[in-house]
Each structure stands twice: as C-alpha cells, then as structure tokens.
Amino acid sequence: MAPPPSPGASTGPTQQQQQQQQSNSKIDPNILRRSNPLSGIASSGIGGKQHQYTLDSFEIGRKLGKGKFGRVYCVREKSSGYICALKAMEKKELIEFKVETQFRREVEIQSNLRHPNILRMYGHFHDAKRVYLIIEYVAHGELFKVLRRESRFSEVKASKYISQMADALSYLHKKHIIHRDIKPENILLGMDGNIKIADFGWSVHAPTSRRTTMCGTLDYLPPEMVEARDHDYRVDIWSLGVLAYEFIVGNPPFEESGHAATYKRISKVDLRIPSFVSVEAADLIKRLLQHDQDKRMPLKDVQQHPWILKNKPFWDTV
C-alpha cells in the first residue's frame, strides 16, 4: 500500500511554503534518509510485543486528522489485526521548523506513560522521508468537537470527565511531568465514554526546577504565566478549573475578544459564574482557579469534593 500523502499535498503552496520548499530542497536526501530524531527511544510495541515495524506492517485506512507537522490515519496492524492510529510526520518539516528536540521530548514522555486516561503510544519507526508514531486509536476523537456539538455538558458528564482528568494529572505530576496545555482539543473521547489526555507537545519533565517558558493556549493560561512569573505543576490545576468551567458553561471563563482583555481578566481572576451552575460545581471551580498557586486545591482532594461525590453514582448513565 502506498504511504500516506504528504501534509499539505491537497492544496497549492503559499509563498511561505514555496520558500520553505526551496530551502528544503537544499537538505541532502541521504541525510534525510538516515535522520531519525527518535533514535534510542524504546518502543513497547503493540500488545507489549517488541517488533520492527515498517509502513508495510499496516493496512492504511481513513484519515483521522491533520496537525501542523503531520497527518493521522486509522490503521490495522497486519500480523495481529490490531486497530490503532498512525501519525506520519515529515522529516524535513521537523528539521526546517527546528522542532526535532521538542518532538523527541514529547515522544520520550508519552512513550513511558501507562494510565487509562492518557493516550498510549506503542512505538515508532521511520523511512526515507517520514517519522511514524504508532498510537492508541480513540473512536470519538477530540472532546472539543463533542463539546461544540452539545454546546455544554451536563454536570454529571462534566464531573466524570473532571474526575478522570484529575486522576491522570495526578499520575503525571507524580512522575514529575507538567502537561502545560490542557484544553478540550487535547483530550480524546473513547467508545467506552472515557477520556484520554493527548498531545504532549508542551509537556516537560521537571523534577525540581521551576519553569519560565510561556506556553499553552491563551484562554487556559494561569496568572503566573500572564504575569511572566515562574510556574510549576500547579499550572495544570488552574487549567483543570478552566476546563471544568468550559465543560459546564460552554466557553472558557476569561474569554474576551482581544488578548489584552483576556490577560487582564486572568490576572484579576475576574470569574463570572452563571446562575445555572450548581453551588457545588461553582465551589470546585473557585477552589481550582486561585491566583495564589499555594491556595489551589490539590488534585488528590478533587476526588472527594462534594460535586464529584454527588454526581458519581450517575456516571454510568453518560
């Protein structure tokens, strides 16, 4: 079977892309062929079995999505019949945009994670032009699209998702990993109704040091990033509060038409909770969205919050 088409092949190149193409043409094909930014990163293999994969190991199905540096396909591994997803990344784009180090860090982190609410990465391989990631297939795709379709989630459904997120983030933090880009677009929804955190592009392994890089998505940035202060794992706790609000209300809590206005509301924690939000849900959101990092509710306490306990008996219905 032919390899997946190159990203951007279906549309005409922009002037910037043409310039990049001319620059890319200078890259020695032999260098590209040998290049493997993931060299040395172990693969667990599908079903835990080590295997030397190539593109011919898979039957390529429909395209699931497209990112900045690659496309994702639904595939079937021929020897086992296992359905998974295959992400194809162009080597020359990784080189041109100077994201090889960030890409390698993302794969190193995700390859070592084993949690029911975190997207599993089974392995990787490369050929002359591309690097391929073998990842878990999640049937319903981005939670963002589901949320937009439903406008907002019931508090039963929202509490289930927030509980799962809190558990997954707690697992990451115990491994000294900060995700730094929690948002509905980076969460996937499985056939079983459970969610999985994906996209570890901004994640970092930080056992001790505080971080200074401003990263993530505007509506989910915490005050310490907006105010150019150091941050730590508690940026993810803030993001969980923003997520809870967006699940229940349908839009982020500090959303404004301009960046400056959004920054201002985040810095002031100008939180306006609609009257239809339950007292228990509002309480959890307020406890997570604290300007002072030290005052944010610890993730271990989220599971025992009255809002979670109140809705937990009904989770099987959503």
pLDDT of residue 6: 36
Percent of the chain with pLDDT strictly greater than 70: 82
Q: Are 7 and 71 in contact (CB under 8 A)?
A: yes
Return the ∠ at Cα 289 (arms to 230 and 260), rounded to 5°.
65
For the chain, the three-class secondary structure string (H helix, E strand, C coil) is CCCCCCCCCCCCCCHHHHHHHHHHCCCCHHHHHHCCCCCCCCCCCHHHCCCCCCHHHEEEEEEEEECCCEEEEEEEECCCCCEEEEEEEEHHHHHHCCCHHHHHHHHHHHHCCCCCCECCEEEEEECCCEEEEEECCCCCCEHHHHHHHHCCCCHHHHHHHHHHHHHHHHHHHHCCEECCCCCHHHEEECCCCCEEECCCCCCEECCCCCECCCCCCHHHCCHHHHCCCCECCCHHHHHHHHHHHHHHHCCCCCCCCCHHHHHHHHHHCCCCCCCCCCHHHHHHHHHHCCCCHHHCCCHHHHCCCHHHHHHHHHHHHC
pLDDT of residue 7: 34
199 is in an annotated binding site: yes
CATH of domain 40-135: 3.30.200.20
295 is in an annotated binding site: no
Give the residue among 230, 215, 218, 229 at the shortest CA–CA distance from 180.
215
Ranges for all domains in the chain classified under CATH 1.10.510.10: 143-317
User: 170 or 231: whose pLDDT is higher?
Assistant: 170
Catalytic residue ranges: 181
* pLDDT tens, position by position, 289-310: 999 999 999 999 999 999 999 9
User: 50 or 242: whose pLDDT is higher?
Assistant: 242
Give the residue among 150, 142, 144, 186 at the shortest CA–CA distance from 168.
186
Tokens of 307: 């809002």
Tokens of 98: 């100077």
CATH architecture of structural domain 143-317: Orthogonal Bundle (1.10)
pLDDT over 70 at 8, yes or no: no
Give the residue among 234, 121, 115, 258 at the shortest CA–CA distance from 173.
234
Q: What is the mean pLDDT of residues 126-145?
A: 94
* pLDDT tens, position by position, 217-258: 889 999 999 998 999 999 999 999 999 999 999 999 999 999
CA distance 99 to 85: 22
185 is in an annotated binding site: yes
pLDDT of residue 206: 80
pLDDT of residue 312: 98
Q: What is the mean pLDDT of residues 117-134?
A: 94
Q: Are 182 and 165 in contact (CB under 8 A)?
A: yes
Q: Which of 8-17, 23-32, 116-125 has the lowest mean pLDDT?
A: 8-17
Ranges for all domains in the chain classified under CATH 3.30.200.20: 40-135
pLDDT over 90 at 267, yes or no: yes
186 is in an annotated binding site: yes
Mean of the per-residue pLDDT values for the chain?
87
CB count, 10 Å around CB of 225?
23
Q: Are 219 and 254 in contact (CB under 8 A)?
A: yes
